[in-house]
Structure 1
Amino acid sequence: MTEYDDKAVTISPTNWVAEQARLYEESGGTKGTSINGAPCLLMDYLGRRSGTWHRTVLIFGQDGDDYLIVASNGGAADHPLWYLNLQDHPDVELRVYAERFAARAETLSSDEKARVWPGLVDLFAPYADYRKRTERDIPVVRLRRV
């Protein structure tokens, strides 16, 4: 766990995610800010069952001033847990490089997703393969500063 604004945060149990999240946070957003060349952010979100805060590292794109994240889960059949939690608790805290701020999550409509998807695949090519691996619709989430 780590502390931010007197809030306990549990970092992802996945080792590489936890290490990158620690590096990103401890460096004040100057290290650990990309995955395979794609920019990434830290997202703190509230667990729908536990009621505790969790932190993960996610690749992001941008749409104007908003940030876009992809609930790909590597093309798995199930949505990532962070996405399920956002359905119940859309208010999150982000670290994008050196800046920390509150944001609200919203899943894009089919039309909005179709508009931004090509840019997200340009940003991180494996998204195209992930989409082919699963029958589920991979959600794209807009994170808007509040």
Structure 2
Amino acid sequence: MTGTVHDNPTPWVADHIRRFEETGGRPRPGVNDLLLTTRGRKSGLLRRTALAYIRDDEDAYVLTASNGGADRHPAWYLNLLASPEVILQVGADTFPATARPATAPESARLWPAVVAATPSYATYRTATIREIPLVVVAPASRAN
């Protein structure tokens, strides 16, 4: 993916991205954060956002498309559905990756670990009528 990267313009997310960069990828002690860059499904522009994650195995990252419990999916999720090739920055490491929605059995298995890491996701799940998707992201060299 080449081109100018546009950070999420939402003030608290933009601040999260700035803190991520200033701290070498550790903006919130005790929380695993990463930066995800997707290609905009409408604009074609590279879009970057900051997200919490858990690990499913040594190479897979699991993201939660909660959008704060809103009744619509976050733009980053819609973008990766349209174009699953993404860029991840975890700590100081930046690498190409491939993203996909978790299957129903994967989501059922992973949801308890997601909530254990970030309890607010349980509240978000009850606040919305939509199913909150989980996303599995693997380095491009390993992705299925």
Are positions 1:96 and 2:90 aligned together?
yes
Residue 123 of structure 1 corresponds to: 117
Structure 1 residues 94, 68: CA separation in 2 closer, same or farther (over 3 Å shift)? same
Q: RMSD in angstroms over aligned alpha carbons?
A: 1.6
Select which of 1, 17, 20 maps to 2:16. 20
Q: Report the CA distance between 1:130 and its aligned residue.
A: 0.5
Please give the TM-score of this superposition, normalised by the length of structure 2: 0.90
Structure 2: state its 5+ residue gaps. none
- Give, as a single letter, the amino acid of the residue that structure 2 aligns with 1:59: A
Residue 48 of structure 2 corresponds to: 55
**Number of matched residues?**
139
Residue 42 of structure 1 corresponds to: 35
Structure 1 runs of 4+ aligned residues shifted over 3 Å read: none
Are positions 1:132 and 2:126 aligned together?
yes
Listed one character per residue, the Cα deviations across residues 37-91 of structure 1 (whole Å, up to 9, x for unaligned) are 4211001110000000011000000000200000001111000011011110111
Are positions 1:87 and 2:81 aligned together?
yes
Structure 1 residues 128, 9: CA separation in 2 closer, same or farther (over 3 Å shift)? same
Q: Report the CA distance between 1:10 and its aligned residue.
A: 0.6
Structure 1 residues 30, 135: CA separation in 2 closer, same or farther (over 3 Å shift)? closer
Q: Report the CA distance between 1:6 and its aligned residue.
A: 6.2
Select which of 51, 54, 66 maps to 1:72. 66
Structure 1: state its 5+ residue gaps. none
Could you say which structure has the higher strand fraction?
A: 1
Identical amino acids, percent of aligned pairs: 42
Q: Counterpart of 2:32 in 1: which secondary structure?
A: strand
Separation in structure 1 between the aligned mates of residue 56 and residue 116 of structure 2, nearest angstrom: 14
Are positions 1:8 and 2:4 aligned together?
yes
Q: Report the CA distance between 1:26 and its aligned residue.
A: 4.8
Structure 1 residues 30, 69: CA separation in 2 closer, same or farther (over 3 Å shift)? closer
Q: Counterpart of 2:44 in 1: which secondary structure?
A: coil
